[in-house]
């Protein structure tokens, strides 16, 4: 999992950096030039899509963070009883 996490973090950062530049240039163009309503709609759509990509990247970064593992002590007998109970129906159908 740690290798997958490192890979996810690397990919996320490599994608997020260019997206930040693109979004900045879109904002610059919106403020610097006068456009008709149609152009402004296009800019708005582009910004919304970049925001959506950033959300997906944020979710990818969640994978890259180490998660604490909580272990609890359990009785093996109880676990085996649960498995037997769950598997007994399938076993009976197969004639075991």
**Each residue of 29-83: pLDDT tens digit?**
888 877 777 888 888 899 999 999 999 998 888 877 776 777 888 889 988 988 8
Q: Which residues constitute the domain of residue 60?
A: 2-68
Q: Quick one: pLDDT at residue 67? A: 65
Name, in order, each residue with C-beta under 8 angstroms of 27's C-beta and a sequence gap of 6 or more.
Answer: 47
Give domain status of residue 92, yes or no.
no
- Cα gap 46→23, rounded to integer Å: 8
Give domain status of residue 32, yes or no.
yes
Report field, pTM of the whole predicted structure over 0.75: no
Q: Domain total for the chain? A: 1
């Amino acid at each position: 999992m740690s290798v997958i996490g490192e890979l996810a973090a690397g990919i996320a950062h490599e994608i997020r950096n260019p997206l930040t530049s693109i979004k900045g240039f879109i904002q610059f163009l919106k403020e610097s030039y006068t456009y008709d309503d149609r152009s402004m709609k296009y800019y708005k759509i582009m910004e919304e899509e970049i925001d959506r990509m950033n959300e997906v990247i944020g979710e990818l970064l969640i994978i890259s963070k180490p998660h604490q593992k909580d272990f609890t002590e359990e009785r093996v007998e109880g676990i085996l009883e649960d498995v037997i109970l769950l598997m007994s129906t399938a076993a009976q159908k197969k004639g075991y």
